Amino acid sequence: MGDVLHALPAVTALRAALERTQPASWIGWAIEPQWVPLLCADSAEAACKRGPRMPVVDQLHRVAAKRWARRPFSPSTLREIRQLRDSLRAQHYDICIDLQGAIRSAWIGRMARAPRMIGEANPREPLARWLFRERIETIGVHVVEQAMEVVNAVLNEDLLYQAPVLPVDPVAESWCDRWLAERGVERFVMVNPGAGWGAKCWPAERYASVAAELARMGFAAVVNIGPGESQLADAFPADDRARAFLMSGGIGELIACTRRASLFLGGDTGPLHLAAALKIPVVGIYGPTNPARNGPHGTRSQVLRHPASRRDHSRRSEPEAGLLTIAVDDVLEAAQQLLQQQAGTQ
């Protein structure tokens, strides 16, 4: 999810530049099926025509790579890979850009047989660089900046940064309005206690303590519980006075509800980057990942990280030690500052 959202500003900028110089240009995106709603509203997926429900790209190529990896030689996997190859080649792409920097994404890009294959000179997975025909040296620290530098090579110009544009799904928007109204929620903070692995997770009980204090300030907490994270819900009391409401929906619903939030509170995870893409103020609680590279981008934010924390992508189950030094009061103070700033701009 984060990879898609980090790439989206660069592709949005490319779309804007092409509309100005080459309006007939066609952009396709190869993407895991579960992340399609970040580019195309669920209710419009069958039609898949560019517009408010699919604002940036013209076509999606679904790549079920994680499922294929579990059964790489099964007839169904091989058949789907051939179908992907054929769909990529049928578009006769002139250029392929790899913004993920992985061997898998670079290999999929080469399947398109585009004359130009562009990627970073020093990608996330070093071996991927040998699949690129054009290797771009990047100097940006943040992954969004690096993606912009790679995409600049398409037109050989420095593109103007564009805030990412996310699809609008009328079904999800209506659902969110009803869901909030049924609970009497008006002003709220989106809280996301989960993360990709345990070392990045600030304790859910501390999130609940912050939510309780925000309730006293008149802000409910909409708590996003992702797949496989049901145990995190136990930290939030089922008490109307706590004003913490658990939300477990699809990506379309998450986009719709995040759009309405006054603030986002969470760690380095996809929903945080979604909030930043939607220009929602963000309190980011960071431990083993580097916020200079992966922090909230394009929105007002407060990032909390202990100086002792060091970058470490080991998939440890326990919270990183530096992360645990961040206190409830630290997070609450950051949230209050952003909420006050938000009130001052309205």
Sheet with strand 282-285: strands edge to edge: 244-247, 220-224, 188-192, 263-267, 282-285, 301-304
Q: 212-223 in b/e burial notation, b at 16+ Cβ within 10 A? A: bebbeeebbbbb
Domain assignment of residue 252, yes or no: yes
% of the chain at pLDDT higher than 70: 97
Give the residue-averaged pLDDT of 23-27: 93
Residues 145 and 178 in one domain: no
Last residue of a domain, one of 155, 183, 211: 155
Q: What is the pTM of this model?
A: 0.93
Q: Can you give the pLDDT at residue 176?
A: 96
Structural domain boundaries, residue 288: 170-345
Q: Can you give the pLDDT at residue 97?
A: 97
Q: Can you give the pLDDT at residue 46?
A: 58
Token pair belonging to 206 = 């501390």
Residue 179 phi, psi dihedral angles, 5° rounding: -60, -45
The residue among 248 and 191 whose pLDDT is bigger is 191
Convert the pLDDT of each residue in 92-102 to its tens digit. 999 999 999 99
Convert the pLDDT of each residue in 31-67 to its tens digit. 999 999 999 986 555 556 788 889 999 999 999 998 9
Residues 137 and 198 in one domain: no
Q: Can you give the pLDDT at residue 228?
A: 80
Number of domains in the chain: 2
Residues 327 and 184 in one domain: yes
Domain assignment of residue 185, yes or no: yes
Token pair belonging to 216 = 């006293």
Convert the pLDDT of each residue in 206-223 to its tens digit. 999 999 999 999 999 999
Residues 100 and 221 in one domain: no
- List, in order, residues 6 or more apart from 207 with CB less than 8 Å away: 191, 193, 223, 235, 236, 265
Rounded to 10 deg, the angle between the 270-277 and 2-21 helix axes is 30
Residues 47 and 183 in one domain: no
Last residue of a domain, one of 89, 121, 155: 155
CA distance 321 to 241: 32
Q: 146-179 in b/e burial notation, b at 16+ Cβ within 10 A? A: bbbbbbbbbeeeebeebebbbbbbeebbebbeeb
What CATH code is carried by the domain that includes residue 181? 3.40.50.2000
- Contact between 138 and 152 (Cβ < 8 Å): no
Domain assignment of residue 163, yes or no: no
Q: Can you give the pLDDT at residue 141?
A: 94
Element (H, E) at 344: helix 328-345
Convert the pLDDT of each residue in 63-88 to its tens digit. 999 899 999 899 999 999 999 999 99
DSSP track, 61-76: EE--HHHHHHSTTSHH
Last residue of a domain, one of 132, 155, 178: 155
Residues 130 and 181 in one domain: no
CA distance 131 to 149: 18
CA distance 341 to 330: 17
Average pLDDT value over all residues in the chain: 92
The four Cα atoms 122, 126, 128, 134 give a dihedral, to 10 degrees, of: 30
Q: Can you give the pLDDT at residue 45?
A: 56
User: pLDDT-derived band of residue 179, with 50, 70 and 90 as boundaries?
Assistant: very high
